[in-house]
Amino acid sequence: MTRPLPSDQLADSAFLKAARGEPVPHTPVWFMRQAGRSLPEYRKVREGVAMLESCMRPDLVTEITLQPVRRYGVDAAIFFSDIVLPLKAVGVDLDIKPGIGPVVAKPVETLADVEAIPDLTPDHVPFITESVRQLVSELGGIPLIGFAGAPFTVASYLVEGGPSKEHARTKAMMYGAPDVWDALMRKIAGIAAAYLRVQVEAGASAVQLFDSWAGATSPRDYREHVMPYSASVLTAAGELGVPRIHFGVGTGELLGLMGEAGADVVGVDWRVPLEEGVRRAGGRAVQGNLDPSLVFAPTEVMLGRAAEVLEAGKAAPGHIFNLGHGVLPSTDPDQLARLTDFVHEHSTR
């Protein structure tokens, strides 16, 4: 299967230009978790449909992915899915519980548990191929960002059995059972790479690797126990010829390594001043980094801070405006609409 050639309009989009570090007419903007619970139109279409089921229905995936694009006029769409979807697709017994997150029925402990997880093939996810194709044709010149969960973050859900603050069991495996850890991280890296390939071959024009919880590791442990596996996913994605965004939360001390792992764009959370994020990204483009809570501030306060982010972003070869993490569920969509307009109107590079 060959990837459809991007239209000129797509290749010339502000989002893809910024990701490649080329001059842009305005700073592109999109929001992590822009599709989802903060939108009334999302809650409406999700009524009576479980989260994972909605990810497997191309009609719903298309509609939900398009909702924020229609509402805000953002510069990119993020594929509506979840980081645990590919695990579900290969047969891991898990669910996404409302208000909790992914919950795994039988957490991974042993080498046999890892070996029982099948590798992912396109046949496991025909609904992803169909959803991406449908979306790309409806999006026209607007880029679609495909995504996968990075090995550490996905391993945490598999080993802990659910959301965790300390990731203690995960680290216990990392330090105490290196052979099991290596097998698990390789397994997840292979699944993530295959999952990204399916999305790009169906027409996604960029990918984001979400390592949301990597910030729980020290640079030393990240380099030794996490980075090689994320690098293998990013290297495989690089062979597909699309820009790669690498994002984590609380990863200030890891930004340099996350760039070196093979990112074209380094995602910066709000804890790191963007000027500093730009320095740590080592000559790469950056994405971020307004505090997601600033949408609850008076509009002029939020926009004042957005102006500072735009200014700081000018020092990078490319800047994609985003929040420092996902849109919080109680966010007023009108604030995001104002923010999107502001970024478009106040950014000349």
| Positions that interact with ligand CP3 (CB under 6 A) | 32-37, 46, 51, 78, 80, 82-83, 96, 98-102, 147, 153, 210, 212, 326
CB atoms within 10 A of CB 314: 14
Residue 186, burial from CB neighbour count under 10 angstroms (0-12, 13-18, 19+): middle
Is the CB of 103 or the CB of 307 nearer to ligand CP3? 103
Minimum distance of ligand CP3 from residue 80's CB (angstroms): 5
Residue carrying structure tokens 């995504």: 147
| Catalytic-role residue among 82, 264, 269, 291 | 82
Residue of 214, 186, 238, 195 whose CA lies nearest to 83: 195
Minimum distance of ligand CP3 from residue 37's CB (angstroms): 5
Is the CB of 45 or the CB of 297 nearer to ligand CP3? 45
| Catalytic-role residue among 3, 12, 20, 33 | 33
User: Residue 245's beta-bridge partner residues?
Assistant: 208, 265
Minimum distance of ligand CP3 from residue 43's CB (angstroms): 8
DSSP 321: E
Q: Is residue 46 annotated as part of the catalytic site, yes or no?
A: yes
Q: Is residue 37 annotated as part of the catalytic site, yes or no?
A: yes
Minimum distance of ligand CP3 from residue 189's CB (angstroms): 16
Q: Is residue 244 annotated as part of the catalytic site, yes or no?
A: no
265-291: string of b/e by CB count within 10 Å (b at 16+)?
bbbbbbebebeebbbbbeebbbbbbbb
Is the CB of 79 or the CB of 342 nearer to ligand CP3? 79
| Catalytic-role residue among 42, 72, 157, 222 | 157
Is the CB of 85 or the CB of 286 nearer to ligand CP3? 85
DSSP codes of every residue in 250-280: S-GGGHHHHHHTT-SEEE--TTS-HHHHHHH
Catalytic residue set: 33, 37, 46, 82, 157
